[in-house]
Structure 1
Amino acid sequence: MYRESFYQFLMTQRNPNGADEVEQFANNAFLDSAFPKQSQDFTEISQYLEENADYLPSMTIFDAAWQQYLAKVG
């Protein structure tokens, strides 16, 4: 069964004019060429963000986006 990656989900949240934190996260992740685009793994993505994503002011934004992702992919 195909399940979209977290990055694919996140790209559906992009809104260049949006003030929402998840939208801003998506906008910035789009510009991050090293983002683990194929991953569906919470630990892998959160570790990457903690070590590399200066554009993410708080990991709680990632946690919120991850919950939205899980709700969508089941």
Structure 2
Amino acid sequence: MRKSFYQFLMTQRNPESHDEVAQFAANAFFDQGFPKLDQNYDSLSKYLEENAGYLPSMTIFDEAFQRYQEQASEL
């Protein structure tokens, strides 16, 4: 079974990193409303656009989602 995007994103957390995806992951960890089981780009994007003031640019989400897809294709 494929991981949800949130499960993948939590593997990117690293408080020591200055990587934008790592910072996104750290902030998403504290977002109580984050759709934790979702795998769909469009619904995740909509949620983030409407609710994620901690995400300075949607290009960070795009990069994270690209990594998510690449990891899924490797399995």
The two structures share one fold, judged by TM-score above 0.5? yes
The TM tier, using the shorter chain, reads: over 0.9
% same residue: 63
Give 5+ residue unaligned stretches, structure 1: none
Q: Tell me, in whole angstroms, the C-alpha distance in 2 between the residues paired with 1:72 and 1:42.
A: 15
Q: Aligned AA for 1:16?
A: P
Pairwise CA distance, 1:39: 0.2
User: Which residue in 2 is equivalent to 1:62?
Assistant: 61
Give 5+ residue unaligned stretches, structure 2: none
User: Which residue in 2 is equivalent to 1:24?
Assistant: 23
The yes-or-no answer on 1:49 pairing with 2:31 is no
Pairwise CA distance, 1:38: 0.1
Normalised TM-score (structure 1) = 0.97
Normalised TM-score (structure 2) = 0.96
RMSD over equivalenced CA pairs, Å = 0.4
